[in-house]
Chain A
Amino acid sequence: MGDMSEGGTTKKFLYLNRKASYGTVYALESLEVVLIAAAFEQDVSLAFIDDGVYQIIKGQDTKGIGMKNFSPTFNALGDYDINKLYVEKESLDERGLTEDDLMPLVYEDEDDDWAEKPSIKIVNRAEMADLMQDQDVILSF
């Protein structure tokens, strides 16, 4: 797997996010690694399953818990050419959530006159399993 492009090999990286944002530091760590690693211009996907779906929920307000609300940073991912965010439908369903409860994350498509397109794709559990099979590297948070 992995094809040659200028400057080296492009590999498929999947960042697997399974935790909500503020109870542990995993979610913030994942986002920071994603942003740093974006400089390497690899083929990056983000997966949100289990409580990880809560990372990109709308309307987060952290004033009351004295922690930084880093959810606006997900809006910057498009600028970093990270535009494949897969969210598992079963994980949403179990938690009483729908796609409408998620932030409307978008990117501008360079190859389509910078048209704004959604970055979030809802997939079912079987499709998520296929996505995992299709990767070179899976990083878990």
Chain B
Amino acid sequence: MSSITVDGKEYGVDEEGYLADLSTWVPGIADVMAAQDDLTLTDEHWDIINFLREYYEEYQIAPAIRVLTKAIGKKLGKEKGNSKYLYELFPYGPAKQACRYAGLPKPTGCV
């Protein structure tokens, strides 16, 4: 298994870069993963990452993209509740990229 190093500590990741054990997640993991994608996380990114973590905590799944956009629109305002906004923040796709930064498993049904 490969791993990433955050603050001197190693965290296992699977072959697609998802954190192996979500209970080990620390915010620094998201920063390091983002840096590997040449991205610097802003408050807007963190809104989505934190939302995903809360959603997972409650429902034990990562939401599908249409569920995510609807819920973000409701929580953070209509102008943010669309996939364009989310793709601007996470160009590789909010499900794949934001979920990975959030330490969640790959979303069900995400190909």
Q: Are chains A and B touching in the complex at the 8 Å CB cutoff?
A: yes
Task: Say whether, besides A68-B60, A73-B60, A79 and B108 are in contact (CB < 8 Å).
Answer: no
- Choose one: B58, B70, B71, B108; the contact of A35 (CB below 8 Å): B108
**Residues of chain B in range 34-75 having any CB-CB distance to chain A below 8 Å:** 58-61, 63-64, 66-67, 70-71
A36 to B70, CA, bound (A): 17
Task: Say whether, besides A79-B67, A79-B70, A39 and B109 are in contact (CB < 8 Å).
Answer: yes
In the complex, are the beta carbons of B108 and A36 less than 8 A apart? Answer: yes
In the complex, are the beta carbons of A35 and B64 less than 8 A apart? Answer: yes
Chain A residue contacts of B70, Cβ below 8 A: 79
Would you call A75 an interface residue if the criterion is a C-beta within 8 Å of the partner chain's C-beta atoms? yes
**Residues of chain A in range 64-106 having any CB-CB distance to chain B below 8 Å:** 68-70, 72-73, 75-76, 79-80
Chain A residue contacts of B64, Cβ below 8 A: 35, 38-39, 80
Chain B: minimal CB distance from A94 (Å)? 29
A38 to B110, CA, bound (A): 12
- Choose one: A38, A39, A76; the contact of B59 (CB below 8 Å): A76
Chain B residue contacts of A35, Cβ below 8 A: 61, 64, 108-109
In the complex, are the beta carbons of B66 and A39 less than 8 A apart? Answer: yes
Would you call A109 an interface residue if the criterion is a C-beta within 8 Å of the partner chain's C-beta atoms? no
Q: What 3 A-B pairs have minimum CB-CB distances, sorted nearest first?
A: A36-B109, A76-B59, A79-B67
